[in-house]
Structure 1
């Protein structure tokens, strides 16, 4: 059982060794063996050093299960999955963290291992997982263990996105059935966290899902999908068989539901999750399914063979069902995934949406043909909504006004280089500033969710509201200056805050800017001879005053347990906050000082370099022989060269911080990465990578890599420091 867990929470089998072997089902044995093969050398067990037996095994298998869940869900590598495991003291119910390729989706995983396949997930476990999510949302990273702290920047980046998606993952070796009470707890969290483009979902990965993943790893089954084309499709047989026609988007959603990320095995990239563009695809499908085809370029599918089945009359362009064997979506992964996301929201609407699908059979094609098609279909230019403002005459007139009136640059076409801050601005910066200056906070909220909202046209669209009546260059420029002043002031203040207060300052930046705009006012902003800019000197004090009111009002209106980032994605809540802050400042009641929320808690100290840790603590005696262990790619490229020369794979450790490795091949000293680079150079590996990670590749026999040796020590140091701090706190309290 893991440290800090009750038997009810852990839900694992802790029976003895002999009994354990007899009672373990075959499926569980397969999963256990696969986890050991994949993660034994990858997952840190430093906090269990010196312990053995059932406790150690259960802890390792639980962590490995969490890492395997990350692999299943995000298609990351084994090393990336292992790096996301944070299970242990101060994990707040989160065993592993994973990210989508786009960095817009966050997966929080809690894993339960059971030797007998009877692991469960109860209400206490659900509350712990949600508590962990709230800790992350409040930016209380310093309260987590060092493993989570190393991922804090990535977590902060995802939660800071207005369209972020959080998945609460229950990974269990068992049936995975959740009680109604547990389901209700998780669904309530989804409602509390949700906002403009922000969602929380929960998923269960049970024993069957893990066993299926193990089987697929050993022998991946070819994917077979069905594409139904109505009248109007085209085909060709020479030189290679291909079809082109309309396919219902609902069918694409079913492809993903059945096969997930495996659909993209031959694509240059996987699904990127709900990026801004993909969010637009989802909205386009749900809002106007019939018009989706007109706005989309289509997708490309490769397969080995194509079977045709006509519904009635057989002939060209008659409705046909195509069965595609060993299929892969080589262009359009984002569209297929977005179709699935849209289907989850409104399944009935997708029956009216169609997309052009091109199917190419690679049977009989020359070598390299399939790869060439994949590359060609993924290098075409992509149009974004912002691109269409380039043909709006208003933007050309604004640029001319900037040059003539202010002698500054204004760029509005994607691909143009943004001017230096003092020399001008881009349309994106200008539109964001104008959205913050808009009298209604609704635009600031929408832009906080996604800058794509800036380019929406129509009666309620942000672009129409901001540029429908052309603002002059002086107004735009001064608006930009004010937003920059707010941004700089917030940057200074944020460094003095921590936890929930820092999260409010970070996530509420655009709303804070909106409130400051209302306080400064716009009288004379468009008149070049006015002294409006003199008011910019007051911005730092205004920002502090707004924050001092905003922080307590958040808790007063919505509770101390409310999700910070979701609050700033909710238009109604933001309107309430703006009204409350402005009223408090105008009346001068309940005047607060920002220093109340400022913290003098020291930041967690950084981990010293690997070599420094080893030398400072004498972890490797001088004269120890180390071995270079190349990756599979390196082995293929330079393996023969390494083995054909004496001492090329070996070095001796010397106590030198800069160059601790003495290479046996030439008797010279190098840094770990420097020696790897020298080996690549001497082996004439011209396609060598630009990134070198030498400390991960030099091994002490029986001890592990330099990184692993240093990390074990660092974990012990941090654990001991936490223990001392807690004992000191207990003594002070008593």
Structure 2
């Protein structure tokens, strides 16, 4: 055994193996248990090194079991918007074509949401994984302890997978990480404690003493580097969910890309809590001063850090990006001080694009018109819907989705990808395309009812199909709704009639909805075979072209079936 392998195995045993769950191996021999423990420990090491999560969290990401389709762990970095799908091998030699083939099949099952093909451990995390996959990059890693790389046949399999999945957009990477890579990161467990780092402030002030708190200006590049270095360790567990895709993320990304020098003006900054704040000088300078932060944690501003990290990895220049940073020391504060700061900095003064819609007087006019018909339209955040008092109730978000489909495939695709952007500018498109000054309140009301009914019928047609087709149907529902609304408007749909019986209309369209679902799946499999539906149906240019072809297929099928009958 090479010394490198010996030292990696020692670290696996001492740092990870005691945290590995082997409850499903109780009936196996000790040697088989030992082998499984090491294999799972290597998977956990890979996740810990990639996602920068604790040993316990990395070990909890392990999904290795019989019938796991070659997937031994699924790790998540919300900060980087990455999902790590890992297969491991601890025996001598490089990845064989058979092993890679199984792993490739497992990845395809995961991306197609074929949960029945995966093991119970992966299925138990279905909700969490599907949510993240909707807006994440997938990093597939074959991790092993051999010194040699994959042979030509194995590489061909992984290259073909990458080519197929990335046909509609670059969302998958495939890496082989052997003994050298694992040796280099073997000591990762010792670096998974609370981060310590230094920040240089261009300018700063304090309320009393710099050792208690600092507020000042920090370069965006420093924060991007900090996020890249520590990833999940940088953020309080209570706010990691904030790092999911939101309208705020999209606006941050756009500002960093298009007007980086304006970032400071538009951004609220971040709040850091640290165990202590130090400086090498007794009397720190008022500008260009470096402070050492022990045990730091970002408790507000996770989205900002995530956006800076994404810009950094996209090689966007951050020279002109600056951020207001507030650092608070927990020294001499109560034990729960950090939790209180986390709680209140994430619940106070949070304003999004949606809140500004309340400033549009036409929204109130639409609401008043529907109220007289016993229909509740809530466009203000925090206003509860009351289905008991009103005949029908819906909110701004649902109206925006429905009207996006009413206005056409382009806006439907935008709404699927980034609904918050639909409200970004109340004086311009796409907002005014959805809510023009002459919008008939009955159209909005009926569009929402149509949207609800169509989705139920369309997804019901999808559930009748196998897993990949079901996934395609689910991810195409915005585009399909736009196409079906267009078809319905030419086939006796009465969107302008407040008394229109939408339910009855849709009940008579079951066959047409099923035909549309079949056309979408068939066309997708011709144009994006083996591709990832989640990514495909967010690509506006591809979807608009695709929708025109689907519409032609759909009308031809309807004409054919009508002629047959």
Deviations 1:613-658 (A, max 9, x none): xxxxxxxxxxxxxxxxxxxxxxxxxxxxxxxxxxxxxxxxxxxxxx
Conserved 8 A contact 1:432-1:454: no
Of the candidates 422, 427, 430, which is equivalent to residue 399 of structure 2?
Answer: 430
Count of paired positions: 553
Conserved 8 A contact 1:419-1:426: no
* Structure 1 range deviating more: 450-459 or 480-489: 450-459
Conserved 8 A contact 1:301-1:328: yes
Matched, 1:504 2:472: yes
Matched, 1:553 2:523: yes
Conserved 8 A contact 1:331-1:377: yes
Matched, 1:199 2:171: yes
Matched, 1:292 2:260: no
**Partner residue in 2 for 1:476:** 444
Matched, 1:213 2:181: no
Matched, 1:32 2:13: yes
| Cα distance in structure 1, aligned partners of 2:210 and 2:125 | 51
Conserved 8 A contact 1:445-1:568: yes
Q: How does 1:205-604 map to 2 (within 5 A)?
A: 206-208=181-183, 210-216=185-191, 220=193, 223-231=195-203, 233-238=204-209, 241-264=212-235, 268-270=238-240, 272-276=242-246, 277-303=248-274, 304-307=276-279, 317-348=286-317, 350-363=318-331, 372-404=340-372, 406-420=373-387, 422-439=391-408, 441-457=409-425, 461-521=429-489, 525=494, 527-528=496-497, 533=502, 535-559=505-529, 561-588=530-557
| Cα distance in structure 1, aligned partners of 2:277 and 2:38 | 41
**Partner residue in 1 for 2:114:** 140
Tell me the secondary structure at the aligned position of residue 98 of structure 1: strand
Matched, 1:131 2:101: no
Tell me the secondary structure at the aligned position of residue 511 of structure 1: helix
| Cα distance in structure 2, aligned partners of 1:183 and 1:273 | 34
In structure 2, runs of 5+ residues without a counterpart are: none
**Partner residue in 2 for 1:4:** none
After superposition, the Cα gap between the structure-2 partners of 1:524 and 1:483, relative to the gap in structure 1 and judged at 3 Å, is closer
Deviations 1:361-404 (A, max 9, x none): 44556766555544443442422221111111221121122123
**Partner residue in 2 for 1:109:** 86
After superposition, the Cα gap between the structure-2 partners of 1:258 and 1:505, relative to the gap in structure 1 and judged at 3 Å, is closer
Give 1:357 deviation, angstroms: 0.7
**Partner residue in 2 for 1:86:** 63
After superposition, the Cα gap between the structure-2 partners of 1:108 and 1:176, relative to the gap in structure 1 and judged at 3 Å, is farther
| Cα distance in structure 2, aligned partners of 1:553 and 1:452 | 30
Matched, 1:63 2:28: no
| Cα distance in structure 2, aligned partners of 1:45 and 1:456 | 51
**Partner residue in 2 for 1:699:** none
Tell me the secondary structure at the aligned position of residue 316 of structure 2: coil
After superposition, the Cα gap between the structure-2 partners of 1:127 and 1:486, relative to the gap in structure 1 and judged at 3 Å, is same
| Cα distance in structure 1, aligned partners of 2:377 and 2:343 | 35
**Partner residue in 1 for 2:22:** 43
When normalised by structure 2's length, the TM-score is 0.84
| Cα distance in structure 1, aligned partners of 2:329 and 2:4 | 49
| Cα distance in structure 1, aligned partners of 2:27 and 2:561 | 49
| Cα distance in structure 1, aligned partners of 2:3 and 2:222 | 45
Q: How does 1:675-690 map to 2 (within 5 A)?
A: none
* Structure 1 range deviating more: 517-526 or 354-363: 517-526
| Cα distance in structure 1, aligned partners of 2:189 and 2:293 | 25
After superposition, the Cα gap between the structure-2 partners of 1:437 and 1:104, relative to the gap in structure 1 and judged at 3 Å, is farther
Q: How does 1:642-657 map to 2 (within 5 A)?
A: none
| Cα distance in structure 2, aligned partners of 1:287 and 1:184 | 38
Tell me the secondary structure at the aligned position of residue 319 of structure 1: strand
Conserved 8 A contact 1:445-1:569: yes
Conserved 8 A contact 1:268-1:378: no
Conserved 8 A contact 2:442-2:498: no
Matched, 1:95 2:78: no
After superposition, the Cα gap between the structure-2 partners of 1:123 and 1:282, relative to the gap in structure 1 and judged at 3 Å, is farther
Conserved 8 A contact 2:196-2:296: yes
Tell me the secondary structure at the aligned position of residue 199 of structure 2: strand
CA RMSD of aligned residues (A): 3.9
After superposition, the Cα gap between the structure-2 partners of 1:254 and 1:181, relative to the gap in structure 1 and judged at 3 Å, is farther
| Cα distance in structure 2, aligned partners of 1:125 and 1:549 | 36
Tell me the secondary structure at the aligned position of residue 351 of structure 1: coil
Conserved 8 A contact 1:454-1:463: yes
| Cα distance in structure 2, aligned partners of 1:574 and 1:320 | 50
Give 1:51 deviation, angstroms: 3.9
Tell me the secondary structure at the aligned position of residue 352 of structure 1: coil
After superposition, the Cα gap between the structure-2 partners of 1:343 and 1:149, relative to the gap in structure 1 and judged at 3 Å, is same
Conserved 8 A contact 2:5-2:183: no
After superposition, the Cα gap between the structure-2 partners of 1:23 and 1:494, relative to the gap in structure 1 and judged at 3 Å, is closer
In structure 1, runs of 5+ residues without a counterpart are: 1-19, 594-734
Give 1:417 deviation, angstroms: 1.2
After superposition, the Cα gap between the structure-2 partners of 1:102 and 1:391, relative to the gap in structure 1 and judged at 3 Å, is farther
Greater C-alpha radius of gyration: 1
When normalised by structure 1's length, the TM-score is 0.66
After superposition, the Cα gap between the structure-2 partners of 1:60 and 1:285, relative to the gap in structure 1 and judged at 3 Å, is same
After superposition, the Cα gap between the structure-2 partners of 1:383 and 1:121, relative to the gap in structure 1 and judged at 3 Å, is farther
